[in-house]
């Protein structure tokens, strides 16, 4: 299933979710995509997530808080998290996110998107 709104697209295929984000995340965005991810976790247990950042400009304060709550709530629900981006700080974000999850986390440059998807889809 594919869901698209604003600068966000969610593609769900079983326990694999591809979340593409463009622009800046706002609190209201979490009200849309978090329930979708929650449903996949409820159905499949642990999920694998590919987070693709395109011209990403970060979070508003409200969105940052929602992101923190999501990370704490799903600390053990994500097996693999592949982050795809093209900015140095996004690579740092991948490293920093390891504190908030038991998932295997890897950063991939945008030129390695297919490699990132293959890695994220690997079964544990």
Evaluate whether residue 124 is within a structural domain: no
Domain count, the chain: 1
User: What pLDDT score was predicted for residue 100?
Assistant: 59
Q: Alpha carbon of 5 to those of 18, 20, 25, 55: distances in Å? A: 14, 11, 12, 16
Evaluate whether residue 95 is within a structural domain: yes
User: What pLDDT score was predicted for residue 85?
Assistant: 87
pTM of the model: 0.85
Contact indicator for 120, 15 with CB cutoff of 8 Å: no
Contact indicator for 120, 79 with CB cutoff of 8 Å: no
Task: Specify the pairing of strand 2-5 against strand 104-109.
Answer: unpaired
Residue of 45, 43, 112 lying closest to 74 (CA atoms): 45
Q: Using DSSP, state whether 29 is helix, strand or coil.
A: helix
User: What pLDDT score was predicted for residue 1?
Assistant: 66
Evaluate whether residue 64 is within a structural domain: yes
Tens digit of pLDDT per residue, the chain (124 long)? Answer: 666 667 889 899 999 999 999 989 999 998 988 999 999 999 999 999 999 998 888 889 998 888 888 888 888 898 999 999 886 655 556 555 655 566 888 999 999 999 999 999 986 5
Task: Return the CA Rg of the chain.
Answer: 13
62: containing domain = 2-80+89-110
User: What pLDDT score was predicted for residue 46?
Assistant: 94
User: What pLDDT score was predicted for residue 105?
Assistant: 87
Evaluate whether residue 14 is within a structural domain: yes
Evaluate whether residue 116 is within a structural domain: no
């Amino acid at each position: 299933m594919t869901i698209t709104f604003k600068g966000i697209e969610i593609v769900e295929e079983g326990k694999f979710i591809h979340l593409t984000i463009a622009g800046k995340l706002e609190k209201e965005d979490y009200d849309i995509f978090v329930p979708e991810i929650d449903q996949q976790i409820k159905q499949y247990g642990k999920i694998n997530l590919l987070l693709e950042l395109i011209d990403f400009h970060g979070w508003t304060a409200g969105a940052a808080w929602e992101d923190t709550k999501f990370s704490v709530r799903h600390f053990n629900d994500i097996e693999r998290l592949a982050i795809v981006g093209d900015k140095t700080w996004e690579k740092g974000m991948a490293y920093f996110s390891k504190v908030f999850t038991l998932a295997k986390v890897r950063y991939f440059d945008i030129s390695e998107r297919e490699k990132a998807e293959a890695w994220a889809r690997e079964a544990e």
